[in-house]
Structures are given as C-alpha cells and as structure tokens.
Amino acid sequence: MIANLSVTEENYIKAIYHLQHADGNVSTNEVAEMLHTKAASVTDMLKKLKVKKIVNYEKYKGFTLSTVGEKIALTIVRKHRLWEYFLVEKLQFGWDEVHEVAEELEHISSRKLVEKLDTFLQYPKFDPHGDPIPDINGKMVIQPQINLTDLPLNVIAEVTAVGSQSTELLELLRHKKIAIGTKVNLKKKFLFDNSVEIKILNQAAFTISQQLAQALFVKKIPNA
C-alpha cells in the first residue's frame, strides 16, 4: 500500500513535512535550502512526487504533502526518532551525536524491524531531543510545551524539547549543562538584545542569548 520509495524521495518527503509543520504552504527554495540542493532539482522531484500522489502541487503555487504523503512522512519520522532513542539509551551515544546516524537508519525499509525495535525499547513516547515519537498509526503525544522566552518570571519549568538537532546547538547545551528534563527558572529578560537570565538548580544564574532561549521548549511543573 505504501509505495517503494528511494532514499532521495524519502528525504524530500521528510523535508516537506518539517517545513509544512513550521510554515504551512511550502516553497521550492525552502526545500532546496534544507536539502542543500538547487531549486531546479526540487522542481524535478515535485513532478515525480505529484505523479505518485504524494504531494499537492501546482506549478508556481507552492505545495504540501497529500494525506498519503503525510502518512509516509510520519513513518519516516517514527523510524528516525526510535533509532535516536535506541542509540542514546542502548548504545550510549551522546544526544548530540545521533542525528546523522539516524538519518541513515531511518531509510531501512523493514516494517517488522521498526515494530520489533519499538517493542524492545518499550514504546518510548519521546526521543532524546524531546520530540514526540509517532506510534504505528502516526499518532503522537502533544506536549503542552511553551517557548522558554514565554515563561513567566520565577516559574520553575522543565526542558521538554529543543528547537533543532544541529551539532552546534547541542554542543552549546552540553556546555551549559542543559538537557531534556533540566529544571529552569526565568529570572530576568533584557530588552536590549532579548537575552534572558536563567537559573538552574545548584548553579549560579547565567545569561543566555535570544537565539538559545528560543531553541528551548519547556513545560511548567504542575505543583511548583
């Protein structure tokens, strides 16, 4: 029922999925940039994916995934996040090392493998970066998470996700000792550069940049 797709096709589908969930309608240039390729290549692939009924596409008008395309994207995201969980929890990788390896593993086709892996891992709901793992039907837990910059002052919250998997961000977070589950507390907002001062248990308060603050998603702790 789900067509046989090349690794390249799957990468396009995943890119469109992520862009459309950030943005709505997706443009050729956005996809080209995300995949480090050229707009002309994207147009070529869109024609192929349109024939396969995976995207809704009219030329010059932007595009989105079809219902089928969205389902395919969710199976790829599911595989990616399950493998990341496996790499960190079972193989002792650092959370900042797993993204690239998972980019390869997510294209292994065996459905049975994914389900057995899920069972082995005991059905995790979130990957090591705090992103929800879709279940076999594509459903995932929606966490009521807000951006750190929107947290009221002096309210203790827990880091639940990070905005990207870039090595640069993850390296910085490791250095600052911020991880999924870390409890933070907003002390002050500086309007000059939108940097914010935060406090972590057992550490002196320190200031982080606007860029970093915006990459941190948190959940208020119910009884705090």
Residues that bind a second copy (CB under 8 A): 87, 90-93, 97, 100-101, 104-105, 108-110, 112-113, 116-117, 119-120
In the complex with DNA, the residue whose CB is nearer, 49 or 169, is: 49
Q: Examine residue 61 and tell whether it contacts DNA (CB under 7 A).
A: yes
Q: Is 56 in the site for DNA (CB under 7 A)?
A: no
- By CB under 7 A, tell whether 15 contacts DNA: no
Binding mask 154-193 for DNA (x = CB under 7 A): ----------------------------------------
Which of 18, 34, 62, 146 binds DNA (CB under 7 A)? It is 62
> Which of 32, 156 has the CB closer to DNA?
32
Residue 105, binding choice from DNA, a second copy, none, Cβ under 5 to 8 Å by partner class: a second copy
CB of 160 to a second copy, least distance (A): 27
> Do residues 129 and 84 make contact, with C-beta atoms less than 8 angstroms apart?
yes
Q: What is the CA radius of gyration of the chain?
A: 19
CB under 8 Å, gap of 24 or more: what pairs does 62-69 form? Answer: 62/25, 62/26, 62/27, 63/16, 63/25, 63/26, 64/16, 64/20, 64/24, 64/25, 64/26, 65/13, 65/16, 65/17, 65/20, 68/2, 69/13, 69/16, 69/17
Q: Give the dihedral of Cα atoms 174, 177, 179, 182; nearest 10 deg.
A: 180
Q: Under a CB-based contact definition with an 8 Å cutoff, are residues 102 and 80 in contact?
A: yes
- The CA distance from 99 to 87, in Å, is 10
Query: Which residues from 114-153 bind DNA, rule CB under 7 A?
Result: none
Shortest Cβ 97–DNA spacing (Å): 24
Alpha-helix runs per DSSP H in 64-198? 67-89, 98-105, 111-120, 167-175
What is the CB neighbour count within 10 angstroms for residue 89? Answer: 14
Instruction: Return the residues of window 77-106 that contact DNA according to CB under 7 A.
Output: none
C-beta of 120 vs 123, nearer to a second copy: 120
- Decide: is 29 part of the binding site for DNA (CB under 7 A): yes
Nearer to DNA, 41 or 149 (CB): 41
Coil vs helix vs strand at 218: strand
37 lines the binding site for DNA (CB under 7 A): yes
Binding residues vs DNA (CB under 7 A): 6, 8-9, 27-30, 35-48, 57, 59-62
